[in-house]
Every structure is written in structure tokens, then in C-alpha cells.
Amino acid sequence: PFMVMEFLRGEDLRSAMKGGRTGDLASRLRIALQVAKGLEYIHSRKIIHRDIKPENIHINETGTVKLMDFGIAKSEDLSLTRPGFTMGTPYYMAPEQVTGRDVTYLADVYAFGILLFELLTGTKPISGDNVEQLFARILHEQVDLTPLRQAGVPEPVCNLVGQCIAKAPADRPQGLGIVRRELEQVLEPAPLAAVAKHRWT
């Protein structure tokens, strides 16, 4: 028996961020849009990733984004962990993951929001000196969106991040399709007439 996997060239998103190779704001939003599309697709196949983070996002030489490392992913209708058992990377874990509650695709929506914040600002929105402190902040402290605004991120994207990282799953966008459409709307070029008017008047 053997497993055949795609050979990927390029680098993971963490390396690209550290090396300053994620481009301008529009380029970073396009990276985020591709991640959202990938998550929307796997959710349509009833798969929850559960470990979305920059290390698990690959960018190839043409700028195409791939989701990687489905090691702790699970099928929506198959529980692979017992109640009270947490899985994931602490910085990107949703409150329901921290407390060991049942995890749905909305945990991926939360992790996407944390990833988007970090991609756009270069800093993690939640930090702690140890895992216990980090988990306490995930559960009880609201994230300050000021760094996003200071980085010049459009207000609709700031609001989107805030919605994705809501503590309660019911308060988050109820699917990556909603997130994708929001990002597409922000990235949509202005109508040619409006551009021309701005340029010549």
C-alpha cells in the first residue's frame, strides 16, 4: 500500500508573512479569499479542518493557496475525540474547542478570523504567557480590533473579523460562503465609470 500526494513548491503562509512576501493589503485579502474558498469547499464535503493556522496554508510559486495538514480534521457526522478532549493549535482554537464541547465548521470560521487578523496586521490578536492564560483570554476577553484599523484595513473587513471571532458560534457568520462573498465584495474593482469620474474631475 502507498499514498500519493501532490508535490508542492513554494512556502507556507507563516514563512511568507515573516519574509514580507504576502504583498500589499489587496494581495493579502486575495490570499484570505482563497483560504475562505478552500474552507467553503471542504465544509461542503462535510469535513471540518480544526487546525487552521498560517503553517497549514501553502502558497505555491504562482500564488495559488492550498489547505494542508488534515491530521486532526474530522467528518461532520463522525466524532473522533471524546467529550472534554481538546485538539488544535492554542492561538487559533475557538472557545468551544478550548472547553472540549462539540466542534462544528463554525470553529473553522473562528480560526479563519484569527488568521485573517494576523495576516493583515502581522500580530496575533490573542496572546498569553502560558496556555492557561491564553485559554482564559479566548474564553473571556474581547479582541481589540484597533490594530486592524491602524493598518488601514477597510471597515467592512474589520467588522468581518470581529464577527468571525465572536465567542458564541451562533454569533459568527454561519458559513465560509458568507465570508467569501464579503471578501469578494471588498476586492471588487470600482465600476469603470466611477474610476473615470474620479480620475478626470
Q: Which residue has the cell 471540518?
A: 48
Rounded CA separation 97/107 (Å):
7
- Please, what sign has the CA dihedral across residues 113, 142, 138, 99? negative
Grid coordinates representing 142 are 474581547
- Which position among 12, 24, 51, 129 bears the catalytic label? 51
Query: What is the 3 state secondary structure string of 180-200?
Result: HHHHHHHHCCCCHHHHHHHHH
24 belongs to the catalytic site:
no
Q: Which residue has the cell 471578501?
A: 183
Rounded CA separation 13/19 (Å):
10
Instruction: Please give the positions annotated as active site.
Output: 51
